[in-house]
Structure 1
Amino acid sequence: MNAVELYAGAGGLAMGVSLAGFKSLAVVEWDKWACDTIRENQRLGFPLVENWPLFEGDVRNFDWTTIQEEVDLLAGGPPCQPFSMGGKHKAHDDARDMFPATVDIVRQLRPKAFILENVKGLTRSTFANYYQYILLQLEFPEVPSRKDEEWFDHFLRLQTERSSGKQKKQQKLTYNVVPTLVNAANYGIPQKRERVFIVGFRSDLGVEWGFPAATHSYERLLHDQWITGEYWDRHGISRRSRPTMPVSVEAKVRKMASSFLEPDTLPWRTVRDAVEGLPSPNAKMAAKFANHRFQAGAKIYPGHTGSPLDLPAKTLKAGDHGVPGGENMLVHADGSVRYFSVRESARIQTFPEGFLFHGSWTETMRQLGNAVPVALGHIVARSVAERLVRKKIEQLQHRSTTASRGAA
């Protein structure tokens, strides 16, 4: 199956797509540093990216007529700054809003499916109408805005198209769109990263799809930490060295213990899980690990308190000018803090161990803060691939049955 990746960044979602069995026809990214990271890994022969046809530039400047093969999947994370909690909240008035360009590309390539990822802020009440506008554009890509038409007027016209059903009756290009707000920690990512995934399947395929069920939970982590102690045993931490149970979870743990019910999920993965086997970045042995250098200057201040060792990390962020203060910090049990190294951050974002990041600490942390966790991208892309393969098998079986009846 073939895929096209837009706004690829350092390749988090694109790697997940490749792991799901898709062949990349184009990988498009405008940022030089992110492209340098991909090119450096291609030069080193890293398998997942080695054969990616990388294009450095704006998706609007790519000649999409050069894609002659059928596109099974279009994937990408349009720039999130217009909707980010830490951004300027301009949405459609922000020049970085690339959803209109994305819809144009969907209209040109007619992919069987698409996966788009963006920040939780997109779902805020402030953007309610514009969020619905984005979804309707993706549902009806062949109803573009008219010259000089304001976005809200186009939005109202798209609502009319949906209620009339005219597009589907005329067998125009339409998609069944499923938006889902996801916490990455619930899928085994060692990070509490809430993101919106917008997944669509071309309507003519008749595919029914739902977002994959969560596999990990906070309740199971609490169970393994404070009821059975399995978490601490796994990390070789003696009873004497274990931290005290936080007051904030005491009532919940007591209730779980009295019910004798063991959660049927896996535990959330924590920072400790993610960095296991790595020495401290300021230790002598750290030099043996790529992208694992100590960065001075970490400090706590209001709103930026870092990530406790025995919980999933807080959302890694890029910021407008690199790492935003204390967001990307590790908090030790004694309360001391330090910045995550690039390698630790890569593990938190589930990038493969052999994948190297190119550029200064600020630039590499920007790439990581903007990335889709590779493992989460793989989970979503794999579920889409399974539905597409199943549909293809159904079509082949139908043709075979029809041909057999015809021959008889």
Structure 2
Amino acid sequence: MPELREERHEVGTCVELFAGGGGLALAVHAAGFRPLLVNEYAKRACETLKSNPPDPDEPTKRWPLIPGDVRDIDFTEVVSDEVDVLAGGPPCQPFSLGGVHKGMEDERNMFPQMFRAIREMRPKAVICENVRGLLRPSFRPYFNYILNEMRLPFVERDKNAAWEDHNEILEKLIANDSIDVSERYMVKEMEVNAANYGVPQIRNRVIIVAFRADLGIDWDEFMPKETHSEESMIHSMREGGPYWTERHKKVPADVRKRVIANLPALDYENKKVKEKLKLEPWRTLRDAIAGIDENEGKPLPYVTEEAVKDKLPVGDIPDHIGWPGARMYTGHTPNLLDRPAKTVKAGVHGVPGGESVMQLDDVNFANFGGGDGYRYMTVRETARVMTFPDRWILDGPRGEKMRQLGNAVPVKLGTAFSKAVADALKSVGALEDPEKRK
């Protein structure tokens, strides 16, 4: 049965920094938070935000965008309303495996601006998403410092002090519990795989959620539980399983047999496996193309060899355009249709690893410029893997659109955490009736 788009009810306000192509902004908005300010630096991403309304039911409304460098924004001047949620994913390239690994020394490290925004707006909650690279041993000490700064954002670092010295001060204050509760935040870090929350993509990330300590919120009660599992996906793909009998009836028999033959064994007597089987199956790339959630029952039109050769649009869905020249070689292998897609990337060295290439059912499919049997994913297929709605139009040439997607937060993952934050704030009466604010 198609999963219908839920009716949205306004519950509070938000500010979104480092908005990029709009993934987390869409997610926080879907959870009911009205945007007071949205900031992004990249020109093409700003055009994307300008072109797309937050809500399709109100097509004339636009995001309250302030483009440009976040360091130039005085939040005390431009945000007059009370801020319930501050959300953002500070640029991840300093800490990403696809970047140049400068970390805290990289000028693109914008965590200090998140802390300044907290000081100037005093939001009730903060949602921050970033790459798992922050947890690497070389960056872990600095990541611990990030968490400490978020716990005590009003204890500012002296501009001449090293971060290690400031961290020592913060740790002593935290240990002594000597800062007023109204100037402290309770902070939780979570390592997540987006596939476990219904995103058709293996995407390992770190999500940081913080609440003002004076609110007395116990986040453990509201942290979203995983809803999907690999074990359940494997089980659904057995011969006669619902993956084939309900979702993908038209998959060629030889393809189905090959997939089934390569499925790993499951220990059905194992307690952990039994628990995982109670969850929904991981979504696959084939699922995304066929249509899931609000795109349920709306399969993307088949991309022909002609469309790949001549870069032709396919159907009337935006950004569904063929692209030639996909290649496959050692270390650069394609996405498989019957698995979640690989992590969509946008690194400084281009897109490595074959993340934008997909293996096809038709082994003789000519992609022109590469080998047979695979092709580049279209921008729209990639957007579906990131769980953007088909109405969302990205600005710029193909490479720029893919970059925006690679830097984005999957909408479905962001929504799960944004709704959980809303529920946590409601539980302590921290969200005022929106009608009283108008």
Alignment TM-score, normalising by the size of structure 2: 0.84
Q: Which of residues 202, 206, 228 in structure 2 aligns to 1:192?
A: 202
After superposition, the Cα gap between the structure-2 partners of 1:290 and 1:173, relative to the gap in structure 1 and judged at 3 Å, is same
Q: Which residue of 2 aligns with 1:309?
A: 337
Which whole-Å CA distance do the structure 1 matches of 2:45 and 2:431 have between them?
A: 40
* Amino acid across the alignment from 1:150: A
Does 1:180 pair with 2:190? yes
Q: Which of residues 293, 302, 308 in structure 2 aligns to 1:280?
A: 302
Q: Which residue of 1 aligns with 2:253?
A: 240
Alignment of 1:328-407 (within 5 A): 328-333=356-361, 334=363, 336-392=373-429
Q: Which residue of 2 aligns with 1:265?
A: 279
- Identity of aligned pairs, percent? 44
Q: Which residue of 1 aligns with 2:217?
A: 207
After superposition, the Cα gap between the structure-2 partners of 1:292 and 1:322, relative to the gap in structure 1 and judged at 3 Å, is farther
Instruction: State the number of aligned residues.
Output: 392
For residue 189 of structure 2, give the secondary structure of its aligned residue in structure 1: strand
Which whole-Å CA distance do the structure 2 matches of 1:12 and 1:33 have between them?
A: 15
Question: Would the aligned equivalents of 1:188 and 1:216 in 2 still touch at CA under 8 Å?
Answer: yes
TM-fit CA distance, 1:321: 5.8
Q: Which residue of 2 aligns with 1:34?
A: 45
TM-fit CA distance, 1:288: 1.9
Q: Which residue of 1 aligns with 2:135?
A: 123
* Amino acid across the alignment from 2:249: G
C-alpha RMSD of matched pairs (Å): 2.5
* Amino acid across the alignment from 1:202: R
After superposition, the Cα gap between the structure-2 partners of 1:214 and 1:227, relative to the gap in structure 1 and judged at 3 Å, is farther
TM-fit CA distance, 1:216: 0.3
Question: Would the aligned equivalents of 2:341 and 2:355 in 1 still touch at CA under 8 Å?
Answer: no
Which whole-Å CA distance do the structure 1 matches of 2:339 and 2:432 have between them?
A: 46
Q: Which residue of 2 aligns with 1:399?
A: none
After superposition, the Cα gap between the structure-2 partners of 1:306 and 1:352, relative to the gap in structure 1 and judged at 3 Å, is same
Q: Which residue of 2 aligns with 1:13?
A: 24
Question: Would the aligned equivalents of 2:425 and 2:431 in 1 still touch at CA under 8 Å?
Answer: no
Q: Which of residues 82, 101, 104 in structure 1 aligns to 2:94?
A: 82
Which whole-Å CA distance do the structure 1 matches of 2:243 and 2:29 have between them?
A: 32
* Amino acid across the alignment from 2:390: E
For residue 365 of structure 1, give the secondary structure of its aligned residue in structure 2: helix
TM-fit CA distance, 1:60: 1.1
Alignment of 1:209-228 (within 5 A): 209-210=219-220, 211-226=223-238, 228=240
Which is further off, 35-44 or 294-303? 35-44
TM-fit CA distance, 1:298: 1.0
TM-fit CA distance, 1:390: 1.9
After superposition, the Cα gap between the structure-2 partners of 1:226 and 1:54, relative to the gap in structure 1 and judged at 3 Å, is same
Which whole-Å CA distance do the structure 1 matches of 2:224 and 2:286 have between them?
A: 26
Which is further off, 281-290 or 92-101? 281-290
TM-fit CA distance, 1:43: 11
The structure richer in helix per residue is: 1
Q: Deviations over 1:42-61 (max 9, x none)?
A: 49977489331011111111
Q: Which residue of 1 aligns with 2:13?
A: 2
* Amino acid across the alignment from 2:47: D
Alignment of 1:282-297 (within 5 A): 282=304, 283=307, 286-297=314-325
Alignment of 1:111-190 (within 5 A): 111-167=123-179, 170-190=180-200
Which whole-Å CA distance do the structure 1 matches of 2:119 and 2:216 have between them?
A: 19
Q: Deviations over 1:363-390 (max 9, x none)?
A: 0000000010111111110000111122
Which whole-Å CA distance do the structure 2 matches of 1:84 and 1:48 have between them?
A: 36
Q: Which of residues 36, 45, 52 in structure 2 aligns to 1:25?
A: 36
Q: Which residue of 2 aligns with 1:251?
A: 265
Q: Which residue of 1 aligns with 2:108?
A: 96
Which whole-Å CA distance do the structure 1 matches of 2:162 and 2:269 have between them?
A: 57
Question: Would the aligned equivalents of 1:41 and 1:49 in 2 still touch at CA under 8 Å?
Answer: no
For residue 219 of structure 2, give the secondary structure of its aligned residue in structure 1: coil
Which whole-Å CA distance do the structure 2 matches of 1:109 and 1:290 have between them?
A: 38
Question: Would the aligned equivalents of 2:201 and 2:342 in 1 still touch at CA under 8 Å?
Answer: yes
For residue 204 of structure 1, give the secondary structure of its aligned residue in structure 2: helix
After superposition, the Cα gap between the structure-2 partners of 1:206 and 1:275, relative to the gap in structure 1 and judged at 3 Å, is same
For residue 421 of structure 2, give the secondary structure of its aligned residue in structure 1: helix
Which whole-Å CA distance do the structure 1 matches of 2:184 and 2:269 have between them?
A: 50
Question: Would the aligned equivalents of 1:223 and 1:256 in 2 still touch at CA under 8 Å?
Answer: no
Question: Would the aligned equivalents of 2:238 and 2:260 in 1 still touch at CA under 8 Å?
Answer: no
After superposition, the Cα gap between the structure-2 partners of 1:224 and 1:257, relative to the gap in structure 1 and judged at 3 Å, is farther
